[in-house]
Structure 1
Amino acid sequence: MYGPALALIHAEAFSDTFRPAFDWLTEQVYAGPRPARLFDLGCGDGAWLDFARYHGIPGAGLDASEAFVQLALARKLAVTLGDAARPLVPRGTSAITALGEVLAYAPAGLAGATQAAAQALPPNGLFLFDLIGLDVEGGETERHGNGWTIVAKTRISGARLIRDITVTTPQGTTQETHEQQIFDPRAVTRLVADAGFSCDLLASYGPCPLLPGRFAILARKLA
């Protein structure tokens, strides 16, 4: 998942997807316990971690893609290869984020990440993530960049979203298939609340709307 070619293109073309939300995200982290410390699940190339660090929030991250980890390490970030479903949350973490449907990847990581967050976060600690909702639709998209083309064909199969991705560069063509789980927002809210969090259901990260058919949960650890 996210091999070298796709990771590089993602960093170039999609890394800024949530950038309009970064100021708002920073405010949410600072609204929690101090000192603020961030742990980002599925951190990708580290764009959000890098922004948070610049604004005084130290942190760490993990990603399941070796290619993404290498891109994040190039930013001199504390990022390791790992599974968001079984994260080892660093001591002192006050906020855990998982942006970009990270916890929807099969096998679904939501339950494991929620349990880890409940065990690691202090009272009022932040757990913020987005998922794919019931009204998501399939389709096909094509994007072009400097020497590359990426075609993504998305289909729905039961409670799964399946995305077939073809990447063409001067070095050749690679293909990946990503599978993600589709969630009922009400069930997710119950799961997170039962783990000891207050929950707000969101359609955007502050000024940054989520993609169609997605929703977010802003959860804070109860005392």
Structure 2
Amino acid sequence: MTIRILLVDDQDLMRLGLAMVLGDVPDFAIVGEASDGESGVARARELKPDVILMDVRMPGADGIEATRRIIAERPETKVIILTTFDLDEYAFSGLNAGASGFLVKDAPPDQLSAAVRAVHVGDAAISPRVTKRLLELYGGSLPESGGSAASDQIALLSERERAVLELIGEGLTNNEIAERLFLAESTVKTHVGRVLAKLDVRDRIGAVILAHRTGLV
């Protein structure tokens, strides 16, 4: 199956670099490009890509607003926010806009390709650096390590679910968790769904934060 990718970035060289890196991957197809959020929304509507790599700061509609509009129209499209380290606070607004992943722009090619594959199958993709900043910015909204609320949530998990949560906290995808625990990927997906439900978190990003805040990772 070919993964159809749309590139949205106001820097020509950035789009060119991404196209060169991802265009060489056999099952990836760069179906289009856009230089601002407004045209990104239009191109997404026209091309119906599987995955969009979305810059944050662009003229007109920014990447967060574009992501919100794209996901509202076509929820099955996956968006990866591309950011530089000093723009993380702004980029994390994409959480509420429906983005499935966050990567720094200097991520190595293999990490970028892995992120595209991960979000395409329903995983989240967050670089370690962004995860660290995510915890710094939003971790305070969750119970401190050892808090009764956090302990009660963790206690609801089975031994296997706890192991899955630890690996989610390390940033592993479902496929990587399956390999680590010697399980079928479909089994891992079932465990992940149960973990999110028991912890009462919206998505894997919330699970990552909780895993760190409770000291599991």
Q: Fold conserved (TM > 0.5)?
A: no
Higher relative contact order, structure no. (Cα contacts within 8 Å, ≥ 6 residues apart): 1
Report which of the two has the higher share of helix.
2
Report which of the two has the higher share of strand.
1
Category of TM-score, reference length = shorter chain: 0.3 to 0.5
